[in-house]
Amino acid sequence: MINKDFFEALKDLEAEKGINEEVFIQALEQALTAAYKKNYGMAKNAQVKLNPEKNTIKIYSYRTVVDQVEDEEKEISLEEARQIKHSYKIGDQVMQEETTKDFNRIAVQTAKQVITQKIKEIEKQSVYKDIAEKEGKLIVANVKRLDLDNVYLEIGGTTLEGLLTKRDMLPTDHFKPGDIVKVYVRHIRDDFRGTVVQVSRTHANFVKLLLEMEIPELNNGEVNIVNIVREAGLRTKVAVSTNVANLDPVGACIGNKGSRINNVINELNGEKIDIINYSENPAEYIVSALSPAEVSEITVDTAAGIANVLVPENKLSLAIGKGGHNVRLAAKLTGYKIDVKPATQKQNENKSNDVVSTSSANIILDDDFFNDIDE
């Protein structure tokens, strides 16, 4: 049943696709056994066995030796069993080779289907494994096509597309087919459409990985990123630290005349990046986090996680930032609720627990904001 050429074809597939022949053998035995039962009786205890060394496919049925036969498909009497082999006893399994004239045709059809399906399945698993290793990493891809809201990317070395949605693009991003673009692989999932590779240019880790590409001290562990927060298109704040004596972690990240940080800023189309020194002293940390604003006075309630900050009146808008983004990011970075007021305004000790409030800017960030801090 099925000639030598069939098994040689399996060996060729192993060489061409890198798929172990044994994988095909196991899949074929299962599929051919199911095909045999479907065509010749589901009640049969039967199994198809492939022998590549002898280039054969054989069908065996199994029946249990019993005193009284109730199911002829699965049982055989002791008397009949001993006609086959005298040593059989009650409870033994009698294996017999089945001879079926037209099963060869069924076997060939089934084999073609199984091999095709197995190749697709294994290739899909291989592609998924390769791309899964890229999750949480930075990749370079080519813009393949665009629609109204999405950009579809060609990921080198795979047959998969990267999906860059509008929410994951910077407001200043404008692409055309053929463009080369850096993206962060945020999530890989399978759905009814296949494997979806969701990528982003707005995720905070996108900036983190860009920095690591430019700054050797981040890669070798001399400088550590303690925390990073971002409002894509506006500003990113990065707190860094070091255990290396006489090493300035902020200076290492910025580079000579801004050479290192400017490469990252250019990739982000001009988005501002504040690199600050991390400090275990909350007051120092919050003052640094409010950069580029100057702080005149700060009072920190560590138990309540609240900081009251006074800034020069002419620096108030800088401290708050456009739409409140600067103080929002400082709050996310430090984990403190920050109340910013001009130094000329008398602080109200009985004020509410609003995070930031200023009559001149009319900005109020309530507790819900801190309960919804981005991951």
What pLDDT shows up at residue 2?
Answer: 56
Q: How many CA atoms lie within 13 A of 142 on its CB side?
A: 9
Q: How many CA atoms lie within 13 A of 122 on its CB side?
A: 16
Mean pLDDT, rounded, for 313-338? 94
pLDDT digits (tens, 9 = 90+) for 224-278: 999 999 999 999 999 999 999 999 999 999 999 999 999 999 999 999 999 999 9
Which of 28-37, 173-182, 203-212 is predicted with the least confidence, judged by mean pLDDT? 28-37
Average confidence score pLDDT of the chain: 84
Architecture category of domain 4-132 in CATH: 2-Layer Sandwich (3.30)
What pLDDT shows up at residue 3?
Answer: 62
204-278 matches 138-200 in CATH topology: no
- Per cent of the chain over pLDDT 70 is 87
Q: Which CATH class is domain 281-375?
A: alpha beta
Q: Which fold has domain 138-200?
A: OB fold (Dihydrolipoamide Acetyltransferase, E2P) (2.40.50)
- Per cent of the chain over pLDDT 90 is 53
In three state form, how does the secondary structure of 130-163 look? Answer: HHHCCCCCEEEEEEEEECCCCEEEECCCCCCEEE
The structure tokens listed for 344 are: 């000329």
Q: CA distances (Å), 93 to each of 60, 102, 138, 359, in order?
A: 12, 27, 59, 90
147, 72 Cβ separation under 8 angstroms: no
Mean pLDDT, rounded, for 37-48? 74
Q: In this structure, what is the dihedral angle of CA atoms 126, 130, 133, 138, given to the nearest 10 degrees?
A: -160
Is the pLDDT score of 346 beyond 50?
no
Neighbours of 197 (CB within 10 A): 25
Q: Which fold has domain 204-278?
A: GMP Synthetase; Chain A, domain 3 (3.30.300)
Omega prior to 292 cis, within 30 of 0: yes
Global pTM reads 0.66
State the Cα–Cα distance between residues 115 and 23, nearest whole angstrom: 10
pLDDT digits (tens, 9 = 90+) for 351-368: 444 444 333 333 333 444
Is the pLDDT score of 35 beyond 90?
no
What pLDDT shows up at residue 111?
Answer: 77
Amino acid at 223: V
What pLDDT shows up at residue 299?
Answer: 94
State the Cα–Cα distance between residues 216 and 252, nearest whole angstrom: 9
Strands 93-98, 161-164: pairing kind: unpaired
State the Cα–Cα distance between residues 154 and 219, nearest whole angstrom: 28
* Nearest to 151, CA basis, from 94, 201, 218: 201
Crossing angle, helix 204-214 and helix 259-267, to 10 degrees?
140
How does residue 30 score in pLDDT terms, banded at 50, 70 and 90? confident
Would you kindly state where each structural domain of the chain is located, as residue ranges?
Answer: 4-132, 138-200, 204-278, 281-375
How does residue 32 score in pLDDT terms, banded at 50, 70 and 90? confident
What pLDDT shows up at residue 351?
Answer: 44
19, 28 Cβ separation under 8 angstroms: no
Which is higher by pLDDT, 159 or 25? 25
* Nearest to 21, CA basis, from 29, 8, 10, 30: 10
State the Cα–Cα distance between residues 94 and 83, nearest whole angstrom: 11
pLDDT digits (tens, 9 = 90+) for 127-179: 677 777 888 999 999 999 999 889 999 988 777 889 999 999 999 999 999 99
Omega prior to 177 cis, within 30 of 0: no
The structure tokens listed for 350 are: 């009985």
State the Cα–Cα distance between residues 371 and 229, nearest whole angstrom: 15
Phi first, then psi, for residue 300 (nearest 5°) are -115, 130
* Nearest to 339, CA basis, from 312, 362, 306, 361: 306
What pLDDT shows up at residue 122?
Answer: 74
The structure tokens listed for 41 are: 């009786």
